[in-house]
Amino acid sequence: MPQKQDILDRLRTGVISGDEELVKLVTQEAIDGGIDPIEIVERGLTPGITEVGAKFERMEAYLTDMMMSADAMKAGMSIVLTKIPRDKIRRQGTVVLGTVKGDIHEIGKNILGALMTAAGLDVLDVGSDVPASVFAQKADEAGAAIIGASALMTTTLPGQKDIVDYLNSTGKRGKHSLLVGGGPTTPQWAEEIGADAYAETATEGVKLALRELERRRKQTN
Amino acid sequence: MITYLDVLKGIHTGKICSERDFDLRVFAPKLKEVLKAHEIKYDPENPVPDDDALADDLWRAAMDFYCDVGTYCLDTERIVQFDANEIAQTLKTAPREFAFGEGKERKTLTQRKPEDQTPPWCFLGAAGAAVSSEANLLSLVRGYAEIPVIDSLTSPALTTVEGMRIVGGSPLEIFGAIRAVGLARQALSRAGKPGLPIMNCISTASSAIATIAASQPQFGLRTSDGWPCGTIAEMKVDYGVLSKGAYLLSWGANVCSETAPVLGGYAGGPEGTALVNTAYNILGTVIQKASYQLSFPMHYRFGCNTERRTLWSISLSSQAITRNSRLPLFIIGYVASGPMTEMVLYETAAWIIATVASGAHVEAEGVCKATHVDHFTPMEPGFAAEVAYAATGIKRSFANELVKTLLSRYEEKLNNPPLGKKYQECYNAETGKPSEEYLGLYSRIKTELEDLGLKFKY
C-alpha cells in the first residue's frame, strides 16, 4: 500500500481539481488500506475543499471550480460516511438556500452555497423562484437551523418578508434563523422584516451562518 | 439563415441535459479549453488593452465556444445549437442599422469601432434603479432629458403604486410598469423631447406578461423604443425571455439582448468574462434577433463593473465585438459609490473612457450599484456624457493611462464605497437643479481630468 500521506495528498488534490471519479477511487483505496475514516475526512477531503475556498477568495478559482470540488468532496464523503459511527460525524450544521419567489437570479446564491460547503456546512439548495412555504418545508425536512434567502430585484424583496411571515404564522420562527442577501437587500431592510442576519457578500454570509449556528448551539446548551 | 422559428424548434429538439450538467460538463470545460487554445491572458497593467490581434482572437475564441456550447433553455432542459456555417451566415447577413425614437428625436444606431471618431450613443438615466416616489421619477427624468447629448432614456423604476409595494410577477407589477412608462413619457414631453426613445422599457416590469401588458400603445411605449429581454447567466434563456421575443419581433419592436456575465461566477476570471460577454453578442443575433446588446459584466464581490479586472473584460470584449460584429454593443456602467462623492465621478470617468475608446456605446449609469433607493441624480449620467464626448476618438493607449490613474484614486475603496446622498439631498427636486456643493465637486473633478489631458467638447 502506498504511504498514507501520499493517499491523503491525492485525496486533497483530487478535491481541489474537482475530479469526482479520482476522489471516489482514492477514498475506497484509503478505506481498503485501513486509514481511519475520520482521518480521511479531516486530513484528505476537508483540506482540499478548504483550499478551494481560499483560492476562490484570492480569485484563483471560480464558481464552477468550487462546484466541481464540492461534488468531488460529496462523492468521497458518501463512501466514507458509511464507515463512521454517527456520533463521530462532526458537521457544522445544515443551511437551506434559495432565491425567493418571482426571482430567477442564482449566481450569488450558488457562490454562497459553494463557499458554505467549503466551510463544512451541509447545504440544501432549493433553487430559484421558491415560495416561502417551500423554504420552510425543506428546512423542516432537512433539520436546517438556517434558511438563506436571496433576492436580486427590488420587486422581489418582499419574498424575504414572506418567509418571516410564513414562519411566524406556522409557529416555526424560533426553529430557523433567516439570513437574507442579494443586490437590493440592506441591513435596514433585514431589520424591518425581522430577519436574523444580513450579508452583503458571500464570504460574509458564510461567517454569519457559522456565527448564527454557534449562537444557537450555545443557546441549546 | 437561422430564423426565430428555428430557435423555437431547437429548444424542443436539441440535446437534453440537466442545468447542472450544462454548467459543469458543457460550459465550464469548453470555456477553459478555448481560453487555453487561444492563449487569452488577463493583463492587470493594461486595463484598456491596445492589441487588435488579441481582440480578433477573442472573437474567434467566442465563435468556437458558442458553436460548441450553444444556448441552454431552462424550461425544456435542452441545448439549442447550430453549426458554425449557419451561425456565420446569420451573423454576416444580420442588419446593421436600427432606428430608435420618433420625430426630431429619431436616430439610427450602428456599431462603432475602437478609437472611433463618432461619439457613442448616450443612453442616459438611472439604469432601472428604484425611486421612492412618482414626484422624484418625474423630476429625475426631466433632468435626464435636459442633458444636451442624450440619445435615449434609461428610466428609474417605481417601488410602489398608490402606496403599495410592487411585487415582481404580481398584478401590481403590471400597474407599476404602466404607471412608470406614463410618468416617464410625461416628463420627456415636459422637457420638450417627446420622441426620445426609452430603451430600458420597462424598468418596473421583469416578467413577460408585464412587458406585453404595458406595451399597449395607449400607455406610451412604441416599437421604436428599446425592449430588454434578459438572458440568464450564463448562456441560458427560458420561455419568458423567448416569449417576450416572439411578441416583440411580431410587433416589429427593437429587441434588446440584455446580458450580464458575472466575474467570479460561471464565467470565471477576467478572461472567461471577456469571452462569455463576446459569445453573448453572437447569441443576441442568432437566438434573440436583437437590435442591440446591452451588457453589464459584473464583479461578483463588489457588485459593480469599475474594478480593474472587470474593466479589462469590458474593454477587450468591446473591442472584439465592435471589430467583428454588426450587433451594436452598449455597456452599462454600475459604479459602487453614491452621489456627491469624488469616487462616483472617478468611477464614472474610468468606465466611460475604457468603454468609449474600445468602441462600445454607453448606458450611464447604475449609481450606488443601483441598489439604494433614490441614490442617483442627473449629475452622474450628465457627467458621463461629457466624458464620453471627450473620450471620443482618443487612442486606447491614452485611455489606458487615464484609466490607470483613475483606478489609483478609487480602487482601494471598492470594498467599502461611500453611499453618498439621496437625490433630494443633493438636488432641489422641485426645480431640478443641483446643489452648489455638488456643482463645485463636479467642476473640480472635471478640471482634474482636463489636467490629465482629456479635452472636453462642452
Q: Are residues A158 and A52 in the same domain?
A: no
Which set of grid coordinates corresponds to residue B376? 442617483
pLDDT by residue for chain B (458 residues), tens only, comes to 999 999 999 999 999 999 999 999 999 999 999 999 999 999 999 999 999 999 999 999 999 999 999 999 999 999 999 999 999 999 999 999 999 999 999 999 999 999 999 999 999 999 989 999 999 999 999 999 999 999 999 999 898 888 898 888 888 888 888 888 899 999 999 999 999 999 987 655 567 887 888 888 888 889 999 999 999 999 999 999 999 999 999 999 999 999 999 999 999 999 999 999 999 999 999 999 999 999 999 999 999 999 999 999 999 999 999 999 999 999 999 999 999 999 999 999 999 999 999 999 999 999 999 989 999 999 999 999 999 999 999 999 999 999 999 999 999 999 999 999 999 999 999 999 999 999 999 999 999 999 999 999 99
Out of A88, A123, A156, a domain closes at: A88
Give the CATH number for residue A59: 1.10.1240.10
Distance CA B44, CA A207 (A): 30
Interface probe with A: pick from B132, B165, B300, B334, most Cβ of A within 10 Å: B300
Q: Are residues A116 and A216 in the same domain?
A: yes
Distance CA B304, CA B298 (A): 5
Structural domain count of chain A: 2
Query: Nearest-CA neighbor of A147 among A192, A108, A189, A99?
Result: A99
State in Å, rounded, how far the first CA of chain A is from the last one: 44
Distance CA B391, CA B238 (A): 38
* Axis crossing angle, helix B270-286 with helix B52-69, rounded to the nearest 10: 60
Decide: A181 and A208 in contact? Cβ < 8 Å. no
Enclosing domain of residue A63: 4-88
Identify any residues that bridge with B130 across adjacent strands, giving them in sequence order: B157
Handedness of CA B414, B362, A110, A23 (dihedral sign): negative
Q: Predicted ipTM?
A: 0.88
The string of pLDDT tens digits covering residues B242-298 is: 999 999 999 999 999 999 999 999 999 999 999 999 999 999 999 999 999 999 999
Q: Are residues A195 and A118 in the same domain?
A: yes
| A183 to B371: CB separation less than 8 angstroms, yes or no | yes
Distance CA B429, CA A221 (A): 56
Distance CA B253, CA B295 (A): 19
Q: Are residues A75 and A110 in the same domain?
A: no
Query: Nearest-CA neighbor of A154 among B160, B215, B229?
Result: B160
The string of pLDDT tens digits covering residues A153-196 is: 888 899 999 999 999 999 999 999 999 999 889 999 999 999 99
Give the CATH number for residue A186: 3.40.50.280
Taking any CB pair shorter than 8 Å as contact, residues of chain A touching chain B are: 56, 59, 62-65, 67-68, 71, 101-108, 110-111, 153-156, 158-159, 183-184, 186, 201-203
The string of pLDDT tens digits covering residues A78-107 is: 899 888 876 776 678 999 999 999 888 888
Out of A59, A88, A117, a domain closes at: A88
Query: Nearest-CA neighbor of B317 among B33, B94, B31, B57?
Result: B57
Q: Are residues A110 and A195 in the same domain?
A: yes
Q: Are residues A45 and A134 in the same domain?
A: no
Q: Are residues A82 and A101 in the same domain?
A: no
Is residue A221 over pLDDT 80? Answer: no
Q: Are residues A72 and A110 in the same domain?
A: no
Which set of grid coordinates corresponds to residue B440? 463645485
User: What would the mean pLDDT of A33-61 be, rounded to a whole number?
Assistant: 91
Q: Are residues A110 and A79 in the same domain?
A: no
Q: A60: which DSSP letter?
A: S
Q: Are residues A120 and A210 in the same domain?
A: yes
Size of interface A-B (CB pairs under 8 A): 86
Out of A53, A71, A88, a domain closes at: A88
Buried b or exposed e, range B353-383, using 16+ CB within 10 angstroms: bbbbbbbbbbbbbbbbbbbbbbbbbbbbbbb
Q: Are residues A125 and A111 in the same domain?
A: yes
Q: Are residues A184 and A167 in the same domain?
A: yes
Decide: B296 and B330 in contact? Cβ < 8 Å. no
Report all structural domains of chain B as residue ranges with CATH numbers, in order of start.
98-451 (3.20.20.460)
Which set of grid coordinates corresponds to residue A84? 463512521
Which ranges constitute the DSSP H helices of B361-395?
379-391
Compare CB distances from B264 to A62, A183, A184 and report the shortest one's residue. Answer: A62
Closest-CA distance of chain A to residue B7, Å:
22
